[in-house]
């Protein structure tokens, strides 16, 4: 059963923990000082740090383990619940 088939008539509630809030704030702070010269790329579940080489091709210069990520595009109608009530713990 996909998300749309299993959808209830009530809005789902998501609780964002203090730890999750701190992680989100840390990413937002990092984004403000992130150098334009490097980018993040999700590659088969690995978060890679990329930089263009002298030919203009992307080169992987590092990989960050421990952060779940997905480079795919979810089907917003069937895989992502965009109608949630967010509660901060």
Could you read off the pLDDT of 8-55 as tens digits, one per residue? 556 789 999 999 999 999 999 999 999 999 999 998 889 999 999 999
CB 78 within 8 A of CB 2: yes
Q: What is the pLDDT of residue 29?
A: 98
pLDDT at 1 over 50: no
For 12, the enclosing helix (H) or strand (E) is: strand 12-16
21/6: higher pLDDT: 21
Q: What is the pLDDT of residue 76?
A: 67
Backbone angles phi, psi at 44, to 5 degrees: 50, 45
Nearest-angstrom CA–CA distance, 81 and 76: 8
Nearest-angstrom CA–CA distance, 48 and 37: 14
Q: What is the pLDDT of residue 27?
A: 95
Residue 76 tokens read as 């917003």
């Amino acid at each position: 059963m996909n998300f749309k088939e299993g959808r209830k008539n009530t809005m789902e509630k998501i609780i964002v923990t203090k730890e999750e809030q701190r992680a989100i704030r840390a990413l937002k702070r990092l984004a403000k000082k992130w150098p334009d010269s490097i980018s993040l790329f999700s590659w088969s579940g690995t978060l890679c740090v990329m930089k263009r080489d002298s030919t203009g091709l992307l080169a992987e210069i590092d990989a960050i383990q421990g952060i779940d990520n997905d480079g795919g595009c979810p089907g917003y109608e069937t895989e992502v619940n965009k109608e949630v009530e967010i509660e901060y713990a």
